[in-house]
Amino acid sequence: MKKLYSALMTAFNEDGTVNEKGVRAMVRYNIDVNHIDGLYVGGSTGEAFMLNQDEKKAIFKAVIDEADGAIDLIAQVGGLNLIESKELAKYVTDLGYKTISAVTPFYYNFSFEQIKHYYNEIVKDVDTQLIIYSIPALTGVSLSIDQFAELFENPKVIGIKYTNADFYLLERCRQAFPDKLILSGFDEMMLPALALNVDGAIGSTFNLNAKKAKEEIAAFEAGDLTKALQLQKESNDYITDLLQNDLYPTIKLIFKELGVDAGYCKAPMSKPNPEMIAGAKAICEKYFK
């Protein structure tokens, strides 16, 4: 069966410091309630690009300690500071992470040669496999088939976290790289990604919606497209409600409704207000109670 990964959130205290207890509580929920296959740690959903190096290290350590080998873990170590990315790659490898990931370097319109150097440098000194994190809508970086092929020349680069609405490119990648790992990154597009034979999915909404997502995968693999379409529709209704109520703070508020202290988001993300809290309660009641 194709694997389902939650993109793990980071719990923060109201003052913006990391709430390690809340991080551990979300790891436990994903293992004990969601029965998730793995966690993608330190990505966009984890608000990682607003964290300093010590905060990232504390989160990576708390997650691997709490998971204790029960599930797959992928550590996203990429960013704009290559020295720090290399340091994190070594740190998580020493902790016991078997797989790392790195977002394409962004903002400065790097050339492909610079991007290739970045990936090769991150894995050069560690005995770890790497998944490219491709998310053009946020980075502005779109990689071509030929460029992915060049990155895959490094045997440590094993796959793509494909968070991209270009499904023509996805199909071309799947055909060109049948032995590489491709994980879909858009929760709302999981079904068409499954149809193009991805190896699984990673997403923020799976922190709460993993059961339905797993049912959808099972229905698709059983050939029951009608059921799979209905489940994707139901998931997309839920995703629409989350987006209209402010995605990340709302997921954390629903966690709280379910007895998990997921804390706050880090500024400049929103703090809960009465309207948002009421909306989160309504979403929780509608989908999870």
Question: What is the reported pLDDT for 188?
Answer: 98
- State the Cα–Cα distance between residues 164 and 174, nearest whole angstrom: 14
Is residue 131 in a domain? yes
Question: Does the reported pTM lie above 0.95?
Answer: yes
| Two structure tokens written together for 72 | 């797959």
Is residue 230 in a domain? no
CATH number at residue 28: 3.20.20.70
Is residue 57 in a domain? yes
Number of domains in the chain: 1
- State the Cα–Cα distance between residues 208 and 65, nearest whole angstrom: 22
201-221: string of b/e by CB count within 10 Å (b at 16+)?
Answer: bbbbbbbbbbebbbbbbebbe
Is residue 266 in a domain? no
Question: What is the reported pLDDT for 21?
Answer: 98
Q: Which residues are annotated as a binding site?
A: 44-45, 163, 185, 187-188, 204
**By C-alpha distance, which of 86, 158, 154 is closest to 116?**
154
**To which H or E segment does residue 102 belong?**
strand 99-103
Is residue 275 in a domain? no
Question: Residues in the chain with pLDDT < 50?
Answer: none
List, for residues 89-121, the tens digit of each pLDDT value: 999 999 999 999 999 999 999 999 999 999 999
Tell me if residue 227 is catalytic. Answer: no
In the set 161, 180, 252, 256, the catalytic residue is 161
- Which residues span the domain enclosing 58? 3-222
Q: Which residues are annotated as a binding site for aceneuramate?
A: 44-45, 163, 185, 187-188, 204
Tell me if residue 133 is catalytic. Answer: yes
φ/ψ bin of 129: left (φ > 0), alpha (ψ from -120 to 50), beta (otherwise): beta
List, for residues 27-37, the tens digit of each pLDDT value: 999 999 999 99
Is residue 138 in a domain? yes
Is residue 247 in a domain? no
Is residue 62 in a domain? yes
In the set 133, 162, 238, 248, the catalytic residue is 133
- State the Cα–Cα distance between residues 102 and 115, nearest whole angstrom: 11
